[in-house]
Structure 1
Amino acid sequence: MRGLICGPKLAACGIVLSTWGVIMLAMLGIFFTTHSAVLIEDVPVTEDIFQDGNPQRIYGLYNKVGYNCFIAAAIYILFGAFSCCQMKLNKRKEYLVH
């Protein structure tokens, strides 16, 4: 069948992984853009930013990491759509064979 790249089990695994990736990365993006203090260890902050005393620079880094999480979630959405297409092609192949 034309366009069929992976089997049904791999497509199902891709759907599950992309669903979890979208949920996790969207939540992380929300928490980073709201400047959650718990995530400070995951922000690339250097000592000079702390000594500067300007929290806006730290908030800018939080926002940058949050936007990166949203971009990664969008990539996972594309991967999930690809897996859904592969699942439909596999079902069509089964239908045509039987």
Structure 2
Amino acid sequence: MKICGPKLSLCGLIISVWGIIQLTLMGLFFYIHSVALIEDLPLEEKYDNIDDFYSAANAAYNQNAYNCWIAACIYVLTLLLSAQQFYANSRVTAN
């Protein structure tokens, strides 16, 4: 069953592959607590002590890592749909 054309399905394939690569790497960097990504964490402006800051930062890093990996899984679903559409469009034009 065709939902989209050959150009849109190819575009979906390319964007999905890039999204999977990017979000998987970002999830990995959040998981290893990369300091370069600290600005992307939802942290408060001020903490009472350093232990509260560290626990909030660790929780935020882990949550962002999981969010990136969930989004990468959604891109895998988009990749599968785009690949199926690309295959369906190539079969129609071959006949």
The answer (yes or no) to whether the contact 2:23–2:69 under 8 Å persists in 1 is yes
**Structure 1: stretches of 5+ with no match in the other structure:** none
Matching of residue 44 in structure 1 with residue 42 in structure 2 = yes
**Partner Cα separation in structure 1 for residue 28 and residue 76 of structure 2:** 17
Deviation at 1:56, TM superposition (A): 2.2
**Structure 2: stretches of 5+ with no match in the other structure:** none
RMSD of aligned alpha carbons:
1.0
Q: Which residue of 1 aligns with 2:78?
A: 79
Q: Which residue of 2 aligns with 1:12?
A: 10
Deviation at 1:95, TM superposition (A): 2.0
**Partner Cα separation in structure 2 for residue 51 and residue 17 of structure 1:** 43
Count of aligned residue pairs for this structure pair: 93
**Partner Cα separation in structure 2 for residue 89 and residue 68 of structure 1:** 32
TM-score, normalised to structure 1's length? Answer: 0.90
Q: Which contiguous aligned blocks of 4+ residues in structure 1 show a shift greater than 3 angstroms?
A: none
Residue identity (%)? 42
Q: Within 5 A, what are the aligned runs for 1:54-65?
A: 54=51, 55-65=54-64
